[in-house]
Amino acid sequence: MRILVPVDGSKVSQAAVSFIASRVSLIGSDPQVQLLNVQLSIPVRAARVVGKDVVRSYYMDESGKALKPAVNALKKAGLAASTDYRVGHPGDEIAAAAERVDADLIIMGSHGHGAFAGLVMGSVTNAVLARTKRPMLVLRDSHAPKTDSLKVGVAVDGSKYAREAVRFVIRHRDLFGAQPQIVLLNVVPDFAGAVMPDMAGIALPAFSADEVEAMQSKAFDAAVAPMRKLLDKTGIATESVRLAGNPGDELAAYAKKKKLDVMVMGSHGYGAFKQAVMGSVATRVTAHCATPVLLIRDA
């Protein structure tokens, strides 16, 4: 597995390194880890005054300060990592590096604070998401998992994006530990809330309880059964959970209540326009819980 980890010396980037260092099964499979530091360009006038050699030395010194602790942390965990630094816009350089190393996964810490535009994931994280379709694990919490085998929620909705998410879990199962707990999560529509007026204009339930149950069961089975079949073929044990209501809210609530280590989601991100970067469901999940979110984009 080829993993790209952007680091800048901050606590949020240290979280990404700590996550990898905690992955015993992953380390045992000998992944290729590339640590990347991106330095912002020094203003042209200032660079001309001090000269190219001084500027180059400055970039190397600053990148070394960010990269060295990350290298040492991974080395202590038994994993060698290669390093690189670039100068430019972080989003552009990280996305370009992901293509250059053919990354299977980008792992980034994010300092997002809420559900307002770029603050959900942090501006750099959003910029990377807008520029690459590489799978990306975003960490909002600095605490690494305590165990190698993770409790993983995989959101499925019958779409090709959900199928890609399941396939990623299968291809890179070492990332989730020797015996991960995989939970397939599907959020069905809450038909019970549907109403229709009668002749007097009074709102009445549109469906009976039995009709609601039948429609929800049908929607759940259609979304989950094909994904469960894919996982069963690999011998990965899974359970399936049906939720009802707003997908983003329900998935976030489940992740918090069950203390999931990772939420895996397929995403149809369109670009760098507010929540459209990840799709509204992924944005809502990330805004409402600190659970790490692994976003799988359709290649």
Looking up residue 197, the CATH number of its domain turns out to be 3.40.50.12370
Work out the average pLDDT over 188-217. 70
Nearest to 133 by CA among 252, 278, 24, 289: 278
11-41 tens-digit pLDDT:
888 999 999 999 999 999 999 999 999 988 8
Give residue 271's pLDDT. 43
Q: Which has more pLDDT, 261 or 114? A: 261
pLDDT in tens, 101-136: 999 999 998 765 444 434 445 678 888 888 889 999
Q: Which tokens belong to 24?
A: 């015993």
Q: Strand 203-205 to strand 195-197: parallel, antiparallel, or no bridges (unpaired)? A: antiparallel
Q: What is the mean pLDDT of the chain?
A: 84
Q: How many whole angstroms separate alpha carbon 239 and alpha carbon 246? A: 21
What's the total number of domains in the chain? 1
List of long-range contacts for 83-86, beta carbons under 8 Å, 24+ apart? 83/34, 83/35, 83/36, 83/37, 84/34, 84/35, 84/36, 84/37, 85/36, 85/37, 85/38, 85/39, 85/59, 85/60, 86/36, 86/37, 86/38, 86/39
Residue 202's pLDDT is what?
59
Domain of residue 192, residue span: 2-297
Spatial contact of 278 and 121, defined as CB atoms under 8 Å apart: yes
Closest listed residue to residue 279, CA positions, set 261, 290, 260, 293 = 293
* Euclidean distance between CA atoms 131 and 297, whole angstroms: 12
Q: Where is average pLDDT lowest: 91-100, 143-152, 193-202?
A: 193-202
Check if the beta carbon of residue 160 is closer than 8 Å to that of residue 298: yes
Q: How confident is the model at residue 237 (pLDDT cuts 50, 70, 90)?
A: confident
